[in-house]
């Protein structure tokens, strides 16, 4: 039995050597098409990496087809200059005051506007990206109009 295994090992080594010889002659671009773990980074991954490196990012709003004009924030690299529009502190303060006047918790407000509670928490803590549609929903639900100093 050991002789058979040795014979198979020898054959396998010969085949491996031939394969290596022919594989060396193939262009790299041909070899790359068969690699399954080689993935191009997505736009979101590129933006996240740029933010980690401290480069500036511009936030662009993009419609998503048939999803009731749902807006998602898509980052776009612009000449190494990126600005992420964060929630203005004055809006956060006004949301907190209006919510407290109506005696609503963050969870109750989130349920009324059909959003996740984390969205309300992020808005009130000035974290994440500014979403004007969310602020408009809150204004409509609470029956108030927030003052936006940058719109004057």
Q: Same domain, yes or no, for 128 and 103?
A: yes
Q: Same domain, yes or no, for 139 and 100?
A: yes
Q: Same domain, yes or no, for 99 and 145?
A: yes
CA–CA separation, 98 and 111 (whole Å): 16
Q: What is the reported pTM?
A: 0.46
**Nearest residue to 124 (alpha-carbon basis) of 143, 100, 149, 148:** 100
- 152 residues of the chain, pLDDT tens digit each: 455 566 678 888 888 888 888 888 888 877 777 766 656 777 777 777 777 777 766 655 555 455 554 445 545 544 444 455 677 888 899 999 999 999 999 999 999 999 999 889 988 988 877 888 888 999 999 999 988 776 65
Q: At what angle do helices 132-142 and 117-124 cross, to 10 degrees?
A: 100
Q: What is the pLDDT of residue 55?
A: 74
Here the tokens at position 53 are 């490196």
Q: What is the pLDDT of residue 2?
A: 53
Q: Same domain, yes or no, for 109 and 62?
A: no
Q: What is the pLDDT of residue 96?
A: 93
| 82 domain residue, yes or no | no
Q: Same domain, yes or no, for 97 and 144?
A: yes
Q: What is the DSSP string of 79-121?
A: TTB-B--BPPHHHHHHHHHHHHHTT--HHHHHHHTT--HHHHH
Q: At what angle do helices 132-142 and 89-101 cross, to 10 degrees?
A: 20
Segments forming the whole domain that contains residue 68: 43-77
Q: Same domain, yes or no, for 108 and 139?
A: yes
The number of domains in the chain is: 3
């Amino acid at each position: 039995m050991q002789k058979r295994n040795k014979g198979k090992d020898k054959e396998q080594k010969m085949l491996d050597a031939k394969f290596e010889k022919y594989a060396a002659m193939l262009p790299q671009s041909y070899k790359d098409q068969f690699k399954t773990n080689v993935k191009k980074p997505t736009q979101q991954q590129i933006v996240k990496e740029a933010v980690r490196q401290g480069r500036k990012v511009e936030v662009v709003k993009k419609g998503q087809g048939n999803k009731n004009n749902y807006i998602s924030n898509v980052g776009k690299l612009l000449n190494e200059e990126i600005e992420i529009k964060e929630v203005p502190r004055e809006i956060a303060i006004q949301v907190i005051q209006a919510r407290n006047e109506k005696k609503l918790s963050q969870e109750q407000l989130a349920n009324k506007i059909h959003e996740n509670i984390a969205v309300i928490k992020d808005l009130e803590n000035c974290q994440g990206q500014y979403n004007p549609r969310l602020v408009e929903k809150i204004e409509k639900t609470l029956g108030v109009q927030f003052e936006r100093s940058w719109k004057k």
